[in-house]
Every structure is written in C-alpha cells, then in structure tokens.
Structure 1
Amino acid sequence: MERYKDLLAQKEQLEKLIAEARKKEAAAELERVRESVAEFGFTPEDIFSRRHRNAGLPVAPKYRNPETGETWSGRGRTPHWIKDQDLERFRIKE
C-alpha cells in the first residue's frame, strides 16, 4: 500500500509541475501572438472567422433546363430534371 501512496504523491507533484509549465509556456505564446497581431494589424475576424469571404454568396448557374428554364449551379443536390443525364446537354454556354 505504501507504494500506491508514493505514486499518488508523485502524481500530485507532477500535476503541479505540468500546470506551472503550461502557464509559463502559454504566457510566452500569448505574448508572441499579441506581437504578431500588433505587427500585422489582424482583427478578431481575421483570427477567429471560420467562414470564407465568399461563403453564402450566390453562384452563377451552369446548367439550364431547356423546357422550363430552371437553372442549377452544379452545387448541392442534383435536380430531378438533370439526374442521370449527360450534363453537357444542359450546360449554359458563356
């Protein structure tokens, strides 16, 4: 049983050392990030934005149904009128 208690004490000591090292390294890394932000003028949106600049903007249609005039950009679900058919037949010529 003595060995178990020794190991727990070692674990506690290691956890303290780990916490101290993490705190020290995190502070140094945060300072490096702050310097980069100041140097390059980054904004919070530059750093934390997950969206692409063009995300959500409509895309020009690439295919047109000659019978109804419906269009499809080539993204998302394939419309029923073009499914299992030659796409070139419906391609909009530019």
Structure 2
Amino acid sequence: MATYLELKAQADALYQQAEELRDKERSQAIADIREKMANFEITLKELGLDGKRASAKPAASAVKTRKPVAIKYRGPAGQTWTGRGQKPVWLAELIKQGRKPEEFLI
C-alpha cells in the first residue's frame, strides 16, 4: 500500500505533466486558429473581440447616469437636502429643538 507522501508525489508529477501537455496543446491550438483566421481573412472585430481580454465587469460607458435630484430643503446656514435618504445632522438637530421640516422647504 502506498503512503500519503508517495501518492502526493505521484499526484504532483501527474499535475506537472498535465500542465506541460496543456501548454503544448494550447500553443498548437493558437497556431491553428491564427492560420484559419489568416486563410479566411477573419478579423478580431468580426469575432466580437477588440484584441483586449474580456472582463467580467461591464464597460464604464454602459453605466447609466442619473439626473441630479432637486433640492427640497435649505437650512439656515445654506445647507441643502433633497429629501432622500437619511436626514442630515443639521435638520435632525433643528427638529430636536422643536422646529418642523416644513419650515425649511424651498
């Protein structure tokens, strides 16, 4: 019966062989693809590629931009708030003092 270390050494050797074969076959596959592309005058653009590696992230230009939201509230010191999200500190403090948010509507 083989020991753990012997099996691990065999596995490492097989992994190394597999990597070498993969590299060799990959090189041959690339050469075959290049040859076919040249024979048929196929461009990367025709394949939907631009010569850069594909990424999982969408292009920055694909992100939609939002319109700015109109300001609804203005504080005594000129602070502003759109009315969306958490109340700003300045408004929360004024409410604690007994003031109403409606007083600061624009």
Normalising by structure 1, we get a TM-score of 0.47
Normalising by structure 2, we get a TM-score of 0.42
**Max Rg structure:** 2
Structure with bigger RCO (C-alpha 8 Å, 6+ apart) = 1
